[in-house]
Structure 1
């Protein structure tokens, strides 16, 4: 019996020694790099992938004010409402087991990140659930936010999950933005669309920044503090992020809570604002998710939340809680793991989490329709 126990403990020890351990870079220190060969990653295909990213720069203007106005020119009443910033060129890095095995461009440069911000906003909701502020994502938001935002027969049905999955069909106006004016149909009579009855919450995904900003507004009131402060205290400081990132709202997006004026931030940048951040800080955020919400020995966000956030929604199998999922569907990257999930933003900003290969891939200003091909090239270097 003693020998049996000894063998069992020896086996457990062996398994623990061989369990996957990630490297986590310290704050204000150089991120350790390792040769791809250490991980049996092939140099030539990896170099080809990086050259592909550098050669396929997003075609829009580097003056993002111009790129935004051009990209959303079909939206009625569209205008710049928050800060913008001229961008750099293609940049990115690839992490294997937490180590940098490839990087290109200005990885410390702070740039707008557009809808990658949504995945950070989703994380704020996860932190609220972990803290017990949000009891259940299936709860109606109007039970927490008692002002007029969720009044009425339609809006009162909306749950936190509906907002997180972008299928709420919230109807109204926030910060001067009308829900029906965000990303109008390219064909047909827009007046008919504007006057149409809102779809039943939970039935149809509609990518809509006004409704995302309603989520940001609701989370601000739930936390009773500005979202950048929550993100900084709960996540970014603890993962050793730099002090250079910023999270903006529209210039006039102020709300009063407990007698204090607070800025309600945006979940994207298609009217300006959103998160401005470096590729390296994006990679730290990605590494946290690669390790199921744990940074070194500190569980910053629960693995149960990450599982919920990366579960396909009913209307769209490629979308969870503001993370894109590589499931079979319209946005599937053929030949790559269906367990890959990623944050994506206007202009070709991506944070890709590939748990099966212990990879985090950050790429910036890549022509958006080239991301699948780029990831296929990265994957080829692993084989």
Structure 2
């Protein structure tokens, strides 16, 4: 397998790591405490896979499946320590890749930070921060929309008019809170955060989140086709996933409150039980998908643990967080099949392969 780096120990042999970033081995028994890499260095403690009660004979099949399905990078963290880290299809640990809509969860988390700081209240109207006329809706309908409606995709705005969020493209479809629809209007929360913080959204993100947990300063927000898309290396995505797994803490510092994250990673409205504040939720028995009002019965990803929640982006950008298994799993790359938005059949297929390893 070309250009592949992964951490793997066979019996008493010392595992190897081929990434350009420093990695520290931990050959002790499994530590139940959450490990955090230092925010100011690239070193990251690893955990040999044989220290876990996993089936190491199935790892090669998992990695082969990933490589043949367009994957650029894949990581598994166990309680914060790297168990698997692999790069393939011409990618490496220093290259940046886009998060697509998985990056919506960055906006959600920043909203929680701003609320913790008293800069916003997500129950307040969006117009309290942006003024009247930020949509083309009748004023009485516009003023029904709160920040929480933006975070939960329940603004009532017409989702058939494209992704541009200029006022002329934001038109009334239903009263806020009565209809769930996947829409780029969540981006208005970035404007709310900029107005409330008195700085740019990017600056607020860098100082309040990125730099505090050691995400690479090479990461950047880029405007692409009316989307504000975040790009980073894989370990930066893993650091963010670890922060959320740790209930908003980084070492001894509470970056975002646990109370906010509890809201963000649970059902946020009644129409789509499998959606929180820009997070997708497993185990809710019912879900809607982007671009559709059809309601599907069953778990979002049947093969995944029921407590799994995820950041999901176009072309299969994934952050899976599974508290019961102490796992954070990252996948970056091209679409595994046809071009996809958020959830795809790849999620279920991938979890079948992961389950074979983690048992």
Residue 50 (str. 1) matches residue 63 (str. 2): yes
In the alignment, structure 2 segments of 5+ residues that lack a partner are: 1-29, 288-298, 337-343
Change over 3 Å in CA distance of 1:204–1:375 after alignment to 2: same
Tell me if the contact between 1:93 and 1:107 (Cα under 8 Å) persists in the aligned partners: no
Structure 2 partner of 1:263: none
Equivalence for 2:177: 202
1:11-42: CA deviation from partner (whole Å, max 9, x where unpaired) = xxxxxxx9931111123323222211112222
Residue in structure 2 matched with residue 284 of structure 1 by the alignment? 239
Q: 2 CA distance for matches of 1:155 and 1:311?
A: 26
The separation in 1 between residues aligned to 2:352 and 2:330, in whole angstroms, is 14
Counterpart-to-counterpart distance in 1, 2:100 and 2:280: 14
Q: Is the CA contact (8 Å cut-off) linking 1:145 and 1:222 kept in structure 2? A: no
Within the alignment, does 1:362 sit opposite 2:348 as a pair?
Answer: no
In structure 2, the partner of 1:348 is: 316
TM-score by length of 2: 0.77
Matched, 1:320 2:276: yes
TM-score normalised to structure 1 length: 0.72
Task: Indicate conservation of the 8 Å contact 2:312/2:319, yes or no.
Answer: yes
Deviations, residues 274-319 of structure 1 (Å, cap 9, x unaligned) = 1111111000000001110011111111100100001112110111
Task: Choose between structure 1 and 2 for higher RCO, CA contacts under 8 A separated by at least 6 residues.
Answer: 1
Q: Following the alignment from structure 1 to structure 2, what is the Cα–Cα distance between the partners of residues 120 and 91?
A: 20
Counterpart of 2:84 in structure 1 is 102
Query: Compared with structure 1, are the counterparts of its residues 214 and 373 closer, same or farther at alpha carbon in structure 2 (3 Å cutoff)?
Result: same
Q: Distance in 2 between matches of 1:44 and 1:204?
A: 47
The answer (yes or no) to whether the contact 2:216–2:232 under 8 Å persists in 1 is no
Q: Shift in Å at residue 56 of structure 1?
A: 1.3
Number of aligned residues:
298
CA contact (8 A) 2:75 2:82 kept: yes
Residues 198-251 of structure 1 show CA distances to partners (whole Å, capped at 9, x for unaligned) of 112112211111x122222222212221122112111211211211100134xx
- Summarize the Cα distance change of 1:321–1:362 in structure 2 as closer, same or farther, 3 Å threshold: same
One of 26, 32, 35 as aligned partner of 1:20: 32
SS of the residue aligned with 2:50?
helix
Higher deviation after alignment, 226-235 or 343-352:
226-235
* Residue 147 of structure 1: how far off its partner (Å): 4.0
Partner of 2:348: helix, strand, or coil?
Answer: helix
* Aligned equivalent of 2:219: 245
Closer, same or farther: CA 351–320 of 1 in aligned 2, 3 Å: same
Change (3 A) 1:175 1:199: closer
**Partner of residue 204 from structure 2, selected from 221, 227, 230:** 230
Query: Which residue of 1 is the match for residue 307 of structure 2?
Result: 339
- Measure the CA separation in 2 of the matches of 1:369 and 1:108: 29
- Note the 1:104-183 alignment, pairs <5 A: 104-105=86-87, 106-135=92-121, 137-149=122-134, 152-170=139-157, 174-175=165-166, 178-179=169-170
Deviations 1:257-286 (A, max 9, x none): xxxxxxxxxxxx554541111111000000
Cα 1:207–1:240, aligned 2, differ >3 Å: closer, same or farther? same
Alpha-carbon separation, structure 1, partners of 2:205 and 2:182: 23
Alignment partners' CA distance in 2, 1:355 and 1:35: 20
State the distance in 1 between where 2:175 and 2:356 align: 43
Please give the alpha-carbon distance, in whole angstroms, between the structure 2 residues aligned to 1:157 and 1:225.
Answer: 26
More helix by share: 1
